[in-house]
Amino acid sequence: MKEGKGLLHDAVDAHGGLERWKEINEITFSAQTGGVALPLKLQFGAFRHYRGIVSADADHPYAAFTPHPQDPLQGVFQNGAVRILAPGGRVVAEHKNPRSRFGDLTHMFMWDPLDSLYFGGYAMWNYMNLPFLLTAPGFELFEMDPWDEGGHKLRRLHAIFPAKMHTHSREQTFYFSEDGLLVRHDYTAEVFGSWAKAAHYCVGHKEFGGLTFPTMRRVFPRKQDNTPLRLITLVSIDIGDIKLV
């Protein structure tokens, strides 16, 4: 593998440029989510329809979802902690270190709304800030051999995330089309388990306020041959009404 900063530079430019991303503080959006992943943890209806806000800041991760887990409550992920708020800001439930809870036997079979909030919070903060997030200090980046996907040659960027960053797994791989757009993202969703190897597809790219975002995301199990098992949709996310603040 060779050094990956050149590929990242091309990808960042294709998505609107680092200068534009640094001009904003927040990204707001509407979303609806489906798939079998959260129901498998008995989180039925979590994130089905919501309004989201994420920080455009690699140093201060933040996401808020309204409603979560249901009206009129709001879920907030901030710097790794999670809390559920009632109207007026009263804290209904919170956990300061939710990631530490995922290794026990109970969490293999069942999550609560704080668990799904942690998962959704760090995930959407990551997703909405890619590929710009990868420019933050502490990443190790390598360009891999190209990958053929349905007759299209995709450039691959392997990233080792900083140890303290809230994300799916420290090692992840990003696939970019010939025009530099992010079209696939591979990782292991460690809060689900070491078995949860995912191929996450990004389509429907549109420009909002000078930055380009995929508006449809589909996550499938990733097989040993690096191809997706499309019979099972782990997560689907449809995103719209993106605004940059």
pLDDT at 1: 78
Mean pLDDT over residues 119-135, rounded? 99
Which pLDDT band, with edges at 50, 70 and 90, does 32 fall under?
A: very high
Reported as a single tens digit per residue, the pLDDT across 51-78 is 999 999 999 999 999 999 999 999 999 9
Mean pLDDT over residues 27-39, rounded? 98
Asked if residues 166 and 122 have their Cβ atoms less than 8 Å apart, the reply is yes
pLDDT at 146: 98
pLDDT at 16: 99
Q: Which residue has the higher pLDDT, 134 or 45?
A: 134
Strand ranges for 189-234 from DSSP E: 197-208, 211-221
Tracing tokens 């959006």 back to the chain, one arrives at 29
Mean pLDDT over residues 11-35, rounded? 99
The mean predicted confidence, pLDDT, of the chain is: 98
Q: What structural domains and CATH numbers belong to the chain?
A: 2-244 (2.50.20.10)
Reported as a single tens digit per residue, the pLDDT across 139-193 is 999 999 999 999 999 999 999 999 999 999 999 999 999 999 999 999 999 999 9
pTM above 0.75, yes or no: yes
Token pair for 132: 């710009």
Output the CA angle 26-83-165, nearest 5 degrees.
60
Contacts of 243 (CB under 8 A, 6+ apart): 27, 28, 29, 208, 209
Which pLDDT band, with edges at 50, 70 and 90, does 128 fall under?
A: very high
User: For residues 140 and 149, what is the distance between their CA atoms, to the nearest angstrom?
Assistant: 25
Which pLDDT band, with edges at 50, 70 and 90, does 119 fall under?
A: very high
Tracing tokens 């509407």 back to the chain, one arrives at 30
